[in-house]
Amino acid sequence: MQRHTQVYAYMYRAGKLKTALVEKEILKRYLDGTASSEEESLVHAWLADPSKRYEIIDWIQSYWTEYRMETGPVPTFEEVFGAALKEEKKEGKVVALHRNRKIWMYAAAACVVFFATGLWIGNLLRAQPQENKWLLSKAQTGKGERAQLMLSDGSEVFLSPETELMIHQEVAANPVVYLQGEAHFKMKDTSRSLVIKTKELVTTAKGSEINVSAFTKDSTVTVSVEKGNAQVVENNETTFPLIKLRKPKKDSTMPATLPLTKLRPGKVNVKVNDQELMTFNKNNGNADVSVKREESDDVLAFDNAGEKEIVAKLKKWFGVQTIFTEPLEDDETYTGDYNKNATLQEVLSGISITLKQEVRIYGTTVYLIKKK
Within 8 A by CB and 6+ apart from 104, the residues are 115, 116
Residue 301 domain-assigned (yes or no): yes
Q: Residues 138-183: pLDDT tens digits?
A: 788 887 677 888 665 667 888 888 888 887 545 555 678 889 999 9
| Residue 267 one-letter amino acid | K
- Local confidence pLDDT in tens for the 372 residues of the chain: 333 333 232 322 323 333 445 577 887 777 777 888 888 777 767 766 656 655 666 666 666 555 555 444 544 444 444 443 444 444 443 333 233 322 222 222 222 223 323 322 233 333 333 333 344 577 888 876 778 886 656 678 888 888 888 875 455 556 788 899 999 888 888 888 888 999 889 999 887 789 999 998 888 898 988 888 889 988 877 555 554 433 444 444 444 433 433 444 446 788 888 888 888 888 888 888 876 555 445 688 888 888 888 988 898 888 888 999 888 887 889 999 888 788 999 999 999 999 999 999 988 889 999 987
The span from the CA of 268 to the CA of 248, in Å, is 34
* Full residue range of the structural domain in which residue 320 is found: 296-372
pLDDT per residue as tens digits for the range 320-372? 889 998 888 878 899 998 887 889 999 999 999 999 999 999 888 899 999 87
Distance separating alpha carbons of residues 324 and 328, to the nearest angstrom: 8
pTM for the structure as a whole: 0.45
pLDDT reported for residue 327: 86
Amino acid 22: pLDDT: 59
Domain count, the chain: 1
The pLDDT score that the predictor gives to residue 312 is: 85
198 in a structural domain: no
> In this predicted structure, what is the pLDDT of residue 26?
81
Residue 352 domain flag: yes
**Domain assignment of residue 310, yes or no:** yes
Confirm whether 128 is domain-assigned. no
**pLDDT at 371 (0 to 100):** 87
**Domain assignment of residue 323, yes or no:** yes
Q: Taking the mean position of all CA atoms in its chain, how far away is CA 263?
A: 19
Which pLDDT value is given to residue 356?
93
Query: What is the spatial distance between Cα 310 and Cα 315, in angstroms, rounded to a whole number?
Result: 9
167 half-sphere exposure, CB direction, 13 A CA radius: 27
* Domain membership flag for residue 360: yes
Q: For residue 183, list its beta bridge partners.
A: 159, 212
In CATH, what number is assigned to the domain containing residue 344? 3.55.50.30
In a domain, 26, yes or no: no
For residue 350, the model assigns a pLDDT of: 94
pLDDT in the model for residue 292: 57
Listed residue (226, 225, 217, 184) closest to 199, CA to CA: 217
Q: Which residues pair with 357 in a beta bridge?
A: 370
Q: Distance between CA 264 and CA 157 in Å, rounded?
A: 31
Q: What is the Cα–Cα distance from 367 to 330, expressed in whole angstroms?
A: 19
pLDDT given at position 257? 39
